[in-house]
Amino acid sequence: MMSDNNEKKTASESNIVNLPSDTFINKRDMDKPLVLETRHLGIDFGGLTAVDEFNIGVGATEIMGLIGPNGAGKTTIFNLLTKVYQPTRGTILLCGKDTHGMTPAAVNEAGIARTFQNIRLFDKLTVEENVKIGLHNHINYSMASGIFRLPSYWKEEKKAHEKALELLDIFGMADQADVPADSLPYGAQRRLEIVRALATEPKILLLDEPAAGMNPSETDELMANIRKIRDEFGIAVMLIEHDMKLVMGICETIAVLNFGRIIAKGTPVEIQNNPQVIEAYLGSKKDE
Amino acid sequence: MAEEKMTKKKMSKASKNAFLNYGIVLAFFVIFQVLSSTGILSNSLKGQLIPVVSYMIMAVSLNLVVGISGELSLGHAGFMSIGAFTGVVVEAVILSNSPAAATLSKNLGLQILILVASIVAGAIIAGVAGVLIGIPVLRLNGDYLAIVTLAFGEIIKNLLYCLYIYIDDTGLHFSLDPTSLAGTTVLNGPMGATSIKKISIFAAGIVLLLVVLVIVQNLVNSRSGRAIMAIRDNRIAAEASGLHITKYKMMAFVTSSALAGAAGALYALNYSTIVPKKFDFNTSILILVFVVLGGIGNMTGALIAAAVLTVLPEMLRDFQDYRMLVYAIVLILVMLLTNNERVKVFLAGLFNKKKSKDDAKEVA
Ligand SMILES: Nc1ncnc2c1ncn2[C@@H]1O[C@H](COP(=O)(O)OP(=O)(O)OP(=O)(O)O)[C@@H](O)[C@H]1O
Ligand SMILES: [Mg+2]
C-alpha cells in the first residue's frame, strides 16, 4: 500500500522520521501525540468504493499534502474527516480520541476546521460576520443577553470584532470587513474561507485546493501565509492541491491517492521520484 | 483609530435600520391617534387599528422564519389562532374570578392587566406549539416545514371546531361534547368565542409591536441571529464552523411562533366574537404576502406591506364592486414598482435552495 523504494533522504528532509506504524512525521512533533490518525478508513457509495484502507498520521504541527488525480477521493476524505459523510469502515482519531458518531459541528468543536473546494461562504453576511461565525463558539453570551443588550453582549461583541479584524489582517483583508462576502473576488473568497476556519481555533486545518483560481503571485503569498499560520498558531495543516509548486514547496509529507487508495507516502523528494506516482498522478496530469 | 471609526459606522448602520422601524411605528401611532381623536377617521377604519397592528406583528414574526431563517412556513395563522383562543380563555378565567369584573369598562388598570396576562399566555402556549412542531421537523434537512405548518394550521382550526370550553362553579372545563356546555360558555366549537370583553387598546398594541421589533431586531443583530442567517446562507459551511443547526432553526421558529401567539391574543380581544375559521390557510397566505411584498427579510417592508394591505380593502369599501379588482391591481403595482428586485432575489433564492440541496449530496 505504500512506496517501498526510495530510502534516500536529502539534508533538508532528514527531519522526517518514519514511525513503525508507517507514518511519517517531523522530528519536532515526535514528543507530541498525533493530531489526526486514521485506521482502515473507507467509504462506499452504493457499489463504488470511493476510499479504502486510508491510513495516515499527522503530527501536531505538520503540513501534509494530499494529492492525486481528479476523482481520486481527496475531497471525499475531507468529508469523512469532518463527518459530512459517515465512514463505511475504519476509525478516525483526533488527538487520540475516536470521532465515531460525532456530528460535523462536534468535530469542528473537537478541533478540525476546513475549507471547501467549491467555495461555501455565507453570501449575504459581511466579511467580518463570516469570520464571527467561525468565532461563534468562542463568543460567550446568551440569546437573552443579545435581545436585551446586556453588558455581556457589548463586551463579547467588541472582543469578537477585534479578533475578527486581527484574523482578517493575516491576509490583509481587514479593510474589507464590511463588504458582503459574495462581492469579494474569487481569490479573496478562498482566503476568507481560511480565516473563517482558523477562527474556530482548530488543531488541524483542512484546505481543499486553496490555490485554485489564484494567480502565481497570489499562490506565493498563500504559501507564505499557510506557513505563517502553522508557525503562529502551532497547528497542523492538511491540504489538497493540484499546484505542484505549492505542494512540493510547503508540504513536509505527502500522501498520494489514486482510485481511493494511498499509492505512496513520504517526503516531497521521495514522492517526486516514485515511479508509481509519476505514472498514476503526474502521468495522467500530462494527459489532461 | 481606524478600527474604532469602523465599529461606530457599522453599529450605527445596523441600528439605523432598527431605529427607522421604531420611528415608523411611533409615527403611525401618532398620526392615527390624532386622526381618530379629531374624528376624521371613519368608525370602520378606527376598528381596523388593532387588526393592523396585529398583522404588523404577524408579518415581522413570520419574517424571522421566512427571511432570516430561510424556512417556509404556511401555517403562521395557526399560531395566531392558538394565541387568540388562549387569550380569550385567560380573559374569561380572570373575569370569572374577579370581583371588579362588573366595572371592567371603567377600570383601565384591570383591562391592561388582563390584556398583558392574555398576551403572555398566548405567546407561551403558541411557543410550546412551536416547540412541538419544530422538534420533529427542523432536524430534517429539506422543505418539510412548509408541509407540516400547512397541515398544522388546518389541524388547529379543526380541533377548535370540536372544542367546547365553559366555566361553571367548579371552574374551567374543556369538552368535546356540545351538550355538556354549562355556566358561562367561553368557546362554542365552530361558533368560536362569542362573549369576549373587548379590552385591546391601540396604544397597548403599539407597545407590543415595539417590543416585538426590539426582540426580533436585537436577536437578528446578535450572535444567535448571525448563526441563524449563516445556516440560511450555507448549511454545510455553518455545520463545519461548529454551529448546531437544529438549535438555531428552533430558536427562530419558536420565537416567531410565540410572537404570533401574542399578536393573536391582541387581535382576539379586540372583538366580541371570534371564530376559528378566521385563522385559516388564507390568513397564513395573506401574512406571507406581507413578507414577500415587503421584501424577504426586510422588516420595514413587512411593516408597511402589512399596514397598507390590511387598511386598503377597508378604504376601498366605497367602491364596493371594484374593491377586489383595485386591491389586486394595487398588489401588482406594488410588486412591480417597489419590490421587483427583491421578488427576483426571492425567486432566485428558491431556485438556489433547490440547487444547494442537490449538491449537498456531493460536498466539495
Ligand atoms: N456523494 C457521493 N455519491 C456518490 N459518489 C460520490 C459522492 N461523493 C463523491 N463521489 C465519488 O467519489 C469519487 C471521489 O470523488 P472526490 O470528489 O473525492 O474526488 P477528488 O479527489 O476530490 O477529485 P478532484 O480533484 O476533482 O476534486 C468520485 O468518483 C466521485 O464521483
Ligand atoms: Mg476534490
- Give the distance (Å) from ligand 2 centre to CA of residue A285: 15
Q: Is the domain of A186 the same as that of A206?
A: no
Digit-coded pLDDT (tens) for B189-222? 999 998 899 999 999 999 999 999 999 999 999 9
pLDDT in tens, A40-78: 999 999 989 999 999 999 999 999 999 999 999 999 999
Q: Which of A185, A201, A217 is the last residue of a domain?
A: A201
> Bridge-partner residues for B134, per DSSP?
none
Beta bridge partners of A16: A26
Residue owning grid cell 459523510: A85
From the list A123, A136, A148, the residue facing B241 with the nearest CB is A136
Average pLDDT over residues B41-48: 84
What pLDDT was estimated at residue A286? 43
Q: Which of A79, A117, A200 sits opposite B242 (nearest CB)?
A: A200
Instruction: Please list, in sequence order, all residues whose beta carbon lies within 8 angstroms of the beta carbon of residue B329, skipping any fewer than 6 positions away.
Output: none
Residue minimizing CA distance to atom 16 of ligand 1:
A73
ipTM, interface predicted TM-score of the complex: 0.89
Query: Quick one: average pLDDT of B315-332?
Result: 68
Could you give the number of structural domains in chain B? 2
C-alpha cell at B84: 387568540
Q: Does the pLDDT of residue B10 top 80, yes or no?
A: no
pLDDT above 90 for B242: yes
Position B18 scores a pLDDT of 87
Q: Which amino acid is at B308?
A: V
Choice between A288 and A111, residue whose per-residue pLDDT is larger: A111
| pLDDT greater than 60 at residue B351 | no
Residues A23 and A99 in one domain: yes
Query: B363 and A139 in contact by Cβ < 8 A?
Result: no
For residues A187 and A184, give the distance between their C-alpha atoms in angstroms, rounded to a whole number: 8
pLDDT average, residue stretch A218-247: 95
**Cα(B305)–Cα(B59) distance, rounded to whole angstroms?**
9
10 Å Cβ neighbour count for B59? Answer: 30
List residues in chain B touching A: CB distance below 8 A.
3, 6-7, 9-10, 214-215, 218-219, 221-227, 229-230, 232-234, 236-245, 251, 359, 363-364
pLDDT at A243 exceeding the cut of 80:
yes
Amino acid in position B302: A
Eight-state DSSP code of residue A28? G
Euclidean distance between CA atoms A64 and B261, whole angstroms? 55
* Residue B41 domain flag: no
Would B363 be classed as within a structural domain? yes
Residue range(s) defining the domain that contains residue A173: 120-201
CATH of the domain at A169: 3.40.50.300
Q: Do residues A243 and A284 both lie within one domain?
A: yes
**Region for A68 from its dihedrals, namely left if φ exceeds 0, alpha if ψ lies in -120 to 50, beta otherwise:** left
To which residue does cell 443588550 refer?
A: A149
Whether residue A214 is found in the same domain as residue A197 = no
Residue A246 has pLDDT above 90, yes or no: yes
What is the domain range of residue B75? Answer: 2-25+49-308
What is the reported pLDDT for B323? 63
For residue A122, which amino acid is it?
F
What is the grid cell recorded at B116? 398583558
Question: What 3-state class would DSSP assign to A97?
Answer: strand
Residue minimizing CA distance to atom 19 of ligand 1: A71
Helix (H) or strand (E) holding B266: helix B245-268
Is pLDDT above 90 for B100? Answer: no
Question: How many domains does one find in chain A?
Answer: 2
Region A19-30: what's the mean pLDDT?
Answer: 72
Which amino acid is present at A222?
L
pLDDT in tens, B264-303: 999 999 999 999 999 999 899 999 989 988 888 889 989 9
* Confidence (pLDDT) at B140: 83
- A residues 59-78 closer than 8 Å to B (CB): 75
pLDDT at position A249, please?
A: 94
Residue A9 has pLDDT above 50, yes or no: no
Among A201, A222, A245, the domain-final residue is A201
A85 shares its domain with A216: yes
**Average pLDDT across chain B, whole number:** 86
Q: What is the pLDDT of residue A80?
A: 97
Look at residue B355 in the predicted model and tell me its pLDDT. Answer: 45
Report DSSP state, residue A281: I
From A167, A201, A235, give the residue that closes a domain: A201
**Atom of ligand 1 minimally distant from the CA of A74:** 21
Nearest to A124 by CA among A133, A116, A115: A133
Higher-confidence residue: A149 or A287?
A149
Task: Extract long-range pairs of A280-283: CB within 8 Å, 24+ residues apart.
Answer: A280/A68, A280/A69, A280/A256, A281/A67, A281/A68, A281/A69, A281/A256
Any residues with CB less than 8 A from the CB of A184 and at least 6 apart, and which? A127, A176, A192
- Are residue B202 and residue B136 in the same domain, yes or no? yes
- Which residue, chain included where needed, has cell 471547501? A116
Task: Note whether A169 contacts B: Cβ–Cβ < 8 A.
Answer: no
C-alpha dihedral sign at B173, B177, B183, B185 = positive
- Shared domain check, B337 and B261: no
Rounded CA Rg of chain B = 21
Helix (H, G, I), strand (E, B) or coil at B221: coil
For A227, the grid coordinates are 506557513
Reported confidence tier of residue B37, pLDDT bands at 50, 70, 90: confident
Average pLDDT over residues B223-247: 96
* pLDDT class of B309 with cuts at 50, 70, 90: confident
**Protein residue with least CA distance to atom 12, ligand 1:** A50
* CA B61 / ligand 1 centre spacing (Å): 41
- Going by C-alpha positions, the residue among A273, A282, A266, A277 that lies closest to residue A13 is A266
**Percent of chain B, pLDDT > 70?**
84
Distance B227 CA to ligand 1 centre (A): 29
A187 with A72, same domain: the answer is no
Q: Do residue B363 and residue A147 have CB atoms under 8 angstroms apart?
A: no
pLDDT range class, residue A2, cuts 50, 70, 90? very low
pLDDT above 90: percentage of residues in chain A = 82
Is the pLDDT confidence value at B178 over 50?
yes
**How high is the mean pLDDT of chain A?**
90
Is residue B180 domain-resident?
yes
In this predicted structure, what is the pLDDT of residue B346?
A: 59
pLDDT interval class at B343 (50, 70, 90): low
Judge whether A84 and A62 are in contact, CB under 8 Å. Answer: no
- Does residue B315 form part of some domain? no
Of A134, A139, A200, the CB nearest to B223: A139
Per-residue pLDDT reduced to its tens digit, A164-184: 999 999 999 999 999 999 999
Cβ of A73 less than 6 Å from ligand 1: yes
In which band, very low, low, confident or very high, does the pLDDT at B8 lie, cut at 50, 70 and 90? Answer: very low
CB A142 within 8 A of CB B276: no
Other CB atoms within 10 Å distance of the CB of residue B124: 15
Confidence of residue A79 (pLDDT cuts 50, 70, 90): very high
Distance from CA of A149 to the nearest CA of B (A): 8
Model pLDDT, residue B325 = 73
Q: For B276, how many CA atoms within 13 A lie in the half-sphere containing its CB?
A: 22
Neighbours of ion ligand 2 (CB under 5 A): A 75, 117
Whether residue A187 contacts residue A213, with contact meaning beta carbons closer than 8 Å, is answered with yes
